[in-house]
Amino acid sequence: MKKTFAFLFLTFYGLVAVAQNEDYPHVVSVQSGVSLFSPFRGTITSSQESSDTTFSFSSGSASNFPQLNVAYDYGVNHWFSIGGALSYNKTTLDLKDLKSREQDYGNVKLGVSRVTLGARALFHYGNAGRVDMYSGFRLGIGIWSVKANSSALDDKIDEVFKEAGGGGIWRALLGSRLGGSFVMPQVQVILFGLRGYVTENIGINGELSVGSPYFASIGVNYRFGGGY
């Protein structure tokens, strides 16, 4: 009985040790997540102008580009890794016949996008074989960009360009969009992450987090390189 128990223990230890010795320090992940941008999609109910309505429109729609995240992590040892990540979000709002009490804006399109650059640190635990669990945090900056244009504004710009001469040339150079950019700090706490490898190098992953740029994500990852 003792010999059987010792044999099973050594076998299990050997499997875990082999798995650890075969760990790969370089991991590249591609994920799609759920963020504040995600709910902005579908048809928007039209608004009828009244005495207490500032703006009205005949119809509208909202869409967003799926949140994408690309990350690289380097394993310093079996329980700690550092890396960087790049994320992208975008949502677009399209309103037909937008009006206020003083102004007719025509058809208006508003686009808001965000590029997030960050560094992250992960603490790994409970790892054996092809399973990798971790928690950590990510610090970075979000570069926000806002762009808008309207059909009414286009007509007015055309009139100005025609008076100046060479309207087509000016339109090609300057366009009709109005917009701007700004930068904000981004903080994310990764509550729980899980990687499961279906082959020696390729796996699937998921994360639950608090903060920006996403609250939950799923994706694929690829590990490579030698042991630690």
Instruction: Extract the residue ranges of the chain whose pLDDT is less than 50.
Output: 1-22, 50-51, 164, 167, 170-171, 173-174
- Residue 138 Cα to chain centre, angstroms: 13
CB neighbour list of residue 192: distance below 8 Å, 6 or more residues apart: 133, 134, 135, 207, 208
Model confidence pTM above 0.75:
no
* Residue-range domain boundaries for the chain: 2-224
Q: What is residue 8's predicted lDDT score, i.e. its pLDDT?
A: 36
In CATH terms, 2-224 corresponds, of 3.40.710.10, 3.30.40.10, 2.40.160.20, 3.40.50.620, to 2.40.160.20
Q: What pLDDT is attached to residue 222?
A: 97
Q: Which amino acid is at 52?
A: D
CA distance 199 to 129: 11
Q: At what angle do helices 167-174 and 151-164 cross, to 10 degrees?
A: 130
Q: Say how many C-beta atoms besides its own lie within 10 A of residue 104's C-beta.
A: 11
pLDDT computed for residue 4 by the predictor = 42
pLDDT tens track for 52-76: 556 677 788 888 888 899 999 999 9
Residue 198 in tokens: 């279906």
DSSP 35: -
Q: List the one residue out of 77, 171, 164 whose CA is nearest residue 122.
A: 77
- The answer to whether the CB of 151 falls within 8 A of the CB of 107 is yes
Q: How far apart are CA 184 and CA 173, in angstroms?
A: 30
Output the pLDDT for position 177: 57
pLDDT confidence of residue 21: 33
Cβ burial, residue 96 (10 Å; 0-12/13-18/19+):
middle
pLDDT at 42: 66
pLDDT value at residue 11: 39
Alpha-carbon distance 77 to 227, whole Å?
9
Q: Which two tokens stand for residue 32?
A: 């799609």
pLDDT score of 131: 93
